[in-house]
Amino acid sequence: MKNIQTKKTVLVTGGTGFLGIHTILQLLQQGYHVKTTLRSLAKKDSILKALKEGGITDFSHLALIEADLTTDKNWDEAVKGCDYILHVASPFPADDPKDENELIVPARDGALRVLKASRDAGVKRVVLTSSFAAVGYSIDAKDHIFTEKDWTDLNAPLPAYIKSKTVAEKSAWEFIEKEGNGIELSVINPVGIFGPVIGGITSASLDIAISGILNGSMDKTPPFTMGVVDVRDVADIHIKAMLHPEAPGERFIATSDGVMSFYDVAELFKKERPQYILDVKELQPIGKEFYKEMSNEKAETILSWNPRSREEALLASADSLMGNQ
């Protein structure tokens, strides 16, 4: 009890999302006071259900606030009294919209709203969930291992989601430089996030790569590979970046070791969980030239972050989705 009383208050934006809910769960388990925003309080029950499934029984340290990234309403209220902000919310649909601004505007303006409100409220540090999308798209990947020094080129033709994450992260760093007034920013750049589903809260990454393979709706291997990371480790790296003295001013790629094509994922499921394969199609392997590597050395070295393997993350998703945890 004493421990809980001395802990700080953290706002997690986007508590209804796959990463948001796992982050709230870990913070509550560690005794923090947690505030979270959601677009509509109508989704409150899904948050409570997931946290109960995660073992939380006392909700007295959790506050829910309605706030949308596209309006100013309630953001001052959301950040009030917070020591740290984990800005996780951003639109992440399975398909790109016709108008890229449907993603770019909430991603960029939402990040700026959160940063401004946090600065004005005297918050110590904001950790922004960016993406590998802001690091590794549009340069020739051949023989190149992506690191935090790399940036996706906004002058190249980019899918809307990739562009939204790149624009949002760049805007956040610009804000800190020009108008931050001392507030600290640290950025996490996760690759494809997998791992266990709680309370039925999934995300586009799970819907595409796990459900799509298991139910057979994915019938050919797209010509790319992805890094894989477990949602529990992404929540953990946000908390590490929130606390570590060397995290401000830095971005951290969050990935387990190695990359996989969707063929590799299907082969893993066929080998390890043949009982789940409902109507799996014969996906074809893709050439090694499509394998695009990235490094997790910075996060491991500075933050002492040790992610689970990609196999463990993917199998945990399959197990929780197929109801056999």
Tokens of 51: 């946290």
Task: Give the C-alpha separation, 27 to 113, whole Å.
Answer: 23
Tokens of 121: 């409220």
- By CB under 6 A, tell whether 212 contacts ligand NAP: no
100: helix, strand or coil: coil
229: helix, strand or coil: strand
- By CB under 6 A, tell whether 53 contacts ligand NAP: no
Segment contacting ligand NAP (CB under 6 A): 11-19, 47-55, 173-181, 259-267? 11-19
User: What is the SS3 assignment for 7-26?
Assistant: CCEEEEECCCCHHHHHHHHH
- Residue 185: beta bridge partners? 126
Number of other residues whose CB lies within 10 A of the CB of residue 246? 11
Segment contacting ligand NAP (CB under 6 A): 9-17, 178-186, 211-219, 284-292? 9-17
* 31-50: contacts with ligand NAP (CB under 6 A): 39
Residue 184 or residue 230: which is nearer to ligand NAP going by CB? 230
Segment contacting ligand NAP (CB under 6 A): 66-74, 148-156, 243-251, 315-323? 66-74
* 161-190: contacts with ligand NAP (CB under 6 A): 165, 190
- By CB under 6 A, tell whether 307 contacts ligand NAP: no
Q: Write down the least CB distance from residue 167 to ligand NAP, Å.
A: 12
Binds ligand NAP (CB under 6 A): choice among 29, 70, 284, 324 = 70
Q: Write down the least CB distance from residue 138 to ligand NAP, Å.
A: 17
Task: Give the C-alpha separation, 136 to 292, whole Å.
Answer: 9
Tokens of 266: 């299907």
Segment contacting ligand NAP (CB under 6 A): 87-95, 145-153, 210-218, 305-313? 87-95
Residue 131 or residue 296: which is nearer to ligand NAP going by CB? 131
Binds ligand NAP (CB under 6 A): choice among 9, 10, 20, 315 = 20
Tokens of 226: 């992805």
| Residue at 323: amino acid letter | G
| Phi and psi based region of residue 48 (left: phi greater than 0; alpha: psi -120 to 50; beta: remaining) | alpha
- By CB under 6 A, tell whether 261 contacts ligand NAP: no
Task: Give the C-alpha separation, 177 to 156, whole Å.
Answer: 25
- By CB under 6 A, tell whether 192 contacts ligand NAP: yes
228: helix, strand or coil: strand
Beta strands in the chain (DSSP E): 9-13, 33-38, 62-66, 84-87, 125-129, 145-146, 184-190, 192-194, 226-230, 251-254, 259-260, 293-294
Q: Write down the least CB distance from residue 207 to ligand NAP, Å.
A: 9
- By CB under 6 A, tell whether 90 contacts ligand NAP: yes
Residue 3 or residue 40: which is nearer to ligand NAP going by CB? 40
Binding mask 122-161 for ligand NAP (x = CB under 6 A): -------x-x------------------------------
Where along the sequence are the contacts to ligand NAP (CB under 6 A)?
14, 16-20, 39, 68-70, 88-92, 106, 129, 131, 165, 190, 192-193, 203, 205
